[in-house]
Amino acid sequence: MTVHYFESLDSTNTYAKKLAAEGAPHGTVIIADHQTAGRGRLGRSFHSPAGSGIYLSVILRPNRKPDALMHLTCAVGVAMCDAVEKAFDFRPGIKWINDLVVGNRKLGGILTELSVAATGVVDYAVVGIGINCNQVDFPKDIAHIACSAATVLGKAVDRQRLIDGLLQELEVMSDRLLTQQADIMEQYRQDCVTLGKAVKVLRSDICRTGTALKVLDDGALLVRFDNGTTEAVNSGEVSVRGLWDYC
Ligand code: BTN
């Protein structure tokens, strides 16, 4: 793995996509101490202050069609939980599909972006990881739903220890991704705090309520809606929230 460190970038994902388009190899990692325009799923922003969080993107070239990579974000979520547990002795949960949580608060997130070649095969995937480590003060709009490893443990943590662990777990994840999908997804189901909960599913402006039943092997969330229908919801343009809380 080649790791490029930066003091500040707009977004490590944006930079990684540029490097990938220029031919950077599988396993290239971009880390920034600070992002000026950190991005989350569904066009949201990701608060990325200096000196306190982990903002990291990795370029993968799995040489498969997108259909075979639907579980990639789930695999990264499990790798992040493993890394946090090994570094800091607590295991976060996962709010489907891409948020690491502790209790009802968000610890981190994943932004996966694919570029598909004309052949239909994925040219590259950029997996972006953000984890709040030493933040104790959050902006007002997220203060009630965010946490960091430091707020969970009540003390400052060693950010580099988690970066080192994450890089190791990402390498293991990338080796297992295509051959051990069922095992990875079994662990994801154990970590996923959304299962069994009442959820709101937001697509465009339409909000439906139901119960989260299962995560399928491709990462889709099976929801039984209150009108009695059951549907596999894909992460693409859908946001899932608890009925009363963030999770
Ligand atoms: C989300 O909350 O929906 C996902 C957040 C992902 C944030 C990480 S930080 C590193 C990488 N660069 C970005 O701009 N986003 C991801």
Other CB atoms within 10 A of residue 154 CB: 6
Cα dist from 61 to 70, 99, 177, whole Å: 14, 23, 12
- Per-residue buried b or exposed e for 52-61, using 16+ beta carbons within 10 Å of the residue's own CB: bbbbbbbbbb
**Averaged pLDDT score across all residues of the chain:** 95
pTM, entire model? 0.96
Nearest by Cα to 126 from 110, 141, 142, 139: 110
Q: pLDDT class for 242, splitting at 50, 70, 90?
A: confident
Tell me: pLDDT of 66 over 70: yes
Measured by CA distance, the residue closest to atom 9 of ligand 1 is 130
DSSP string, 28-96: -EEEEEEESS-B-GGG-B----TTTEEEEEEEE---S-GGGGTTHHHHHHHHHHHHHHHHHS---EEET
**Residue 229 CA, ligand 1 centroid: distance in Å:** 33
**Which position has the token pair 């992460």?**
235
Q: pLDDT class for 96, splitting at 50, 70, 90?
A: very high
**Residue 130 CA, ligand 1 centroid: distance in Å:** 5
Residue 200 bridge partners (DSSP): 209, 241
Other CB atoms within 10 A of residue 75 CB: 27
141-192 confidence digits (pLDDT tens)? 999 999 999 999 999 999 999 999 999 999 999 999 999 999 999 999 999 9
Tell me: pLDDT of 4 over 70: yes
pLDDT of residue 134: 98
Cα dist from 174 to 79, 99, 213, 238, 241, whole Å: 10, 19, 28, 26, 29
pLDDT of residue 240: 80
Mean pLDDT calculated for residue range 99-114: 97
> Rg of the chain over CA atoms, in angstroms?
17
pLDDT of residue 247: 67
| Residue to substitute in 111, 167, 247 for testing ligand 1 pocket (most ligand atoms within 8 angstroms of CB) | 111
pLDDT of residue 75: 98
Helix (H, G, I), strand (E, B) or coil at 238: strand
Tell me: pLDDT of 238 over 90: no
Most distant CA atoms of the chain, gap in Å:
51
Measured by CA distance, the residue closest to atom 11 of ligand 1 is 128
pLDDT of residue 166: 98
CA distance 84 to 246: 21
pLDDT of residue 73: 97
pLDDT of residue 185: 98
Q: pLDDT class for 206, splitting at 50, 70, 90?
A: confident
- Pocket-forming residues, ligand 1, beta carbon under 6 Å: 11-13, 35, 38-41, 44, 46, 55-57, 98, 109-111, 128-130
Length of the chain measured in residues: 247
Tell me: pLDDT of 236 over 70: no
